Amino acid sequence: MANTAAYFGFQPVGLSTGAAPNFSLTQRRIASGNSTAIYRGDPVMPVVSSANGYITQGAAGTTRVDGMFGGCEYLSVSQKRIVRSIYGPGSDASGDVLAYVIDAPGSRFKVQANGSSMVVTGSTTAWTSGPVGQYAQFAIGTGSTSTGISGAYLSGVGTTVTYPFIVLDMVQDPPGQNGTDPTTNYNFLIVGFNNEILRSNGAGPTGIS
């Protein structure tokens, strides 16, 4: 059954084999003047314009990612109290926004591919080719201010060693559900960090094509 686009960002599903997942969160900071909204499941990146330690919403490219956004809290100017939100609205904060991110280097995420053919050829039981093992680029998409959920998705795979993610598996279950047909576009994939703050040496070895 063909898949359809319904982007949901990067959903954490666990850790690499052998590591017990505890879904620990790391506290990071977003500048109060940062007007870019960040949604739950968005990759976040360091602010590279100055060495201030802040993070901001990720953007496609080869800058390292600092993790995956999972919520935040800030002192609200309008409500005059600490407000917690699963997305950072990009306004109304007095002082830094405290962001909670997943940055464990062995984290695994489920994410939807766009229409750029990150599919397997052959059959679902005998792959001729596929994206598993390739480095992957993402696009930030459009998050939802209603649900707070990210609209990020994978936009392509390649051999560029500084791409932020690496494809580790294809989602094929439960059968017949959206995203589980690995032979058609808009399929779901399992990815891990590649070019991430806590990964040793940043990028991995030369990718496969």
Partner 1 sequence: MAVNLSAIRDLLLPGLRGVEGKYAQIPTQWDKVFETTNSNMALERTAEMRFLGLAQLKTEGGAVQFDNNAGERFIYNQEHIEIGLGYAITRKAIDDNLYKTQFAPTNLGLVESFAQTKEIYGANLLNTATTYNSAISGDGVALCSTAHPIDGATFANRPSTDVDLNEATLLNAMISIRQNFKDVAGLKVFARGRKLVIPPTLEPIASRLTKTELRPGTADNDVNAIHTTSGGLPEGYLVMDFLTSNYAWFLLTNIKGLVHMKRVPYEMDMQVDFTTDNLLVKGYERYSFGYYNPRALWGSFPTS
Footprint of partner 1 on this chain (CB under 8 A)?
Answer: 1, 12, 20-25, 40, 68, 70-73, 83-86, 100-102, 174-177
Rounded to the nearest whole angstrom, what is the least distance from the CB of residue 207 to partner 1 in the complex?
A: 27
Residue 174 or residue 205: which is nearer to partner 1 going by CB?
Answer: 174
**How crowded is residue 208: how many other Cβ atoms within 10 Å of its Cβ?**
12
Residue 102 or residue 157: which is nearer to partner 1 going by CB?
Answer: 102
If DSSP states are collapsed to H, E and C, what string results for 68-135?
A: EEEEEEEEECCCCCEEEECCECCCCEEEEEEEEEECCCCEEEEEEECCCCCCCEECCCCEEECCCCCE
Residue 100 or residue 163: which is nearer to partner 1 going by CB?
Answer: 100
Rounded to the nearest whole angstrom, what is the least distance from the CB of residue 123 to partner 1 in the complex?
A: 10
Cα–Cα distances (Å) from 8 to 16, 35, 110, 140, in that order, read 21, 22, 9, 11
Rounded to the nearest whole angstrom, what is the least distance from the CB of residue 66 to partner 1 in the complex?
A: 14
Rounded to the nearest whole angstrom, what is the least distance from the CB of residue 13 to partner 1 in the complex?
A: 10
